[in-house]
Structure 1
């Protein structure tokens, strides 16, 4: 497996199926601002509402290879019907059309897997079992969330701002390395974990003044 984060904004993604599994896929794809088309003869109420709001496009038919002649080539295809045979056939056609496939019923037919995701602002922590046990991925995500606590997304936002400032004020790679070694020290991370973000930021500002002056 090759770990990767995809920027899906505006990219064509196809979801086959109109039930609860398809809806879960669609929710995540819309959060990533993908251009989602759902292929199914019927939609669950949540998906029907999304279609009525024009948040997704709906192709009202069975998921067959004919779909790929009627639509622009998607980047990703999710086979999320409750029919394993139909999913396999549609996935094969999708692959021949040049798409990457995720088959909800057959991990061995997947080109990629969806990890359990822990999000806090721009911070994204994922856990994957390569499709072997999605339940374990979710359980480990819960444990990580409990261990990490809140505040890391806020800290990442502050750190991003300090990073831009450090680039402008600290000359040379050695000075920047020393600054980041201090910025990511156990002491600073402990302050963040305890929710003392202002104190952690003050520590970095002091370090920025020191390394900026020394460089």
Structure 2
């Protein structure tokens, strides 16, 4: 089966997680990081989820799933071992047109959750289209060694530099040449080595600086 890759904007959107174990807790953590409004439905929950509810970071209902729980949701994840609940959640999601992921049940998924490498706002998603989650984890671990915190810092600078360059009213070809020069530069390596002097020297002819 082929999947269409995309990144969802979930900030402020209601998302439902059915299940309360450690797998559910990991899914919840990712949703909270995306600033989603998370609702959890489960008769039992692990300590991590209970604490998050006490802190007001999510809404918790200590009960089993009921038809109708998906109304008003933007996305649903079912992290439960109950086959009947898995099927029921997916069926309701399909009827309502809500993206659904049932953990470890690709036949009940309208989307899959990739392995992710993050460095600041840099996000690299890895998917094997459900063929081998273990291989996706291996690739993530290998990439984590290649994209350290210097890449997050580089992206912060690129965001600011892009705004500045766009404000100059340059011809499109000239803008693209500058963007390419920056993107293909050794700046991440210099940042990793603490050589901000090299970065400053490189960007000075472009009229850019490291500081606001």
Aligning the two structures, in what range does the TM-score lie when normalised by the shorter sequence? 0.7 to 0.9
1:193 Cα offset (Å): 5.9
Please report the TM-score for the alignment, with normalisation by the length of structure 2: 0.88
Residues 89-135 of structure 1 show CA distances to partners (whole Å, capped at 9, x for unaligned) of 22111221231100103112211111111111111111111222222
> 1:168 matched to which residue of 2?
167
Number of aligned residue pairs: 206
Structure with greater helix percent: 1
For residue 20 of structure 1, what is the aligned residue in structure 2? 22
Alpha-carbon RMSD: 2.0
Deviation of residue 196 (structure 1)?
A: 3.4
Indicate whether 1:8 and 2:10 are aligned: yes
Specify the alignment match of 2:75 in structure 1: 76
Alignment of 1:94-109 (within 5 A): 94-109=93-108
Counterpart secondary structure, 2:35: coil
Which stretch shifts more, 196-205 or 155-164?
196-205
Q: How far 1:198 sits from its partner (Å)?
A: 4.4
| Gaps in structure 2 of 5+ consecutive residues | none
SS in 1 for 2:39: strand
Aligned-residue offset at 1:62:
1.2
Encode CA deviations 1:160-203: one digit per residue, 9 max, x unaligned.
11111111235101111221232223544554565535423431
Structure 1 stretch displaced more, 193-202 or 149-158: 193-202
SS at match of 1:119: strand
Q: Does 1:115 align with 2:114?
A: yes
- Alignment match, 1:145: 144
For structure 1, which runs of at least 5 residues remain unmatched after alignment?
210-215
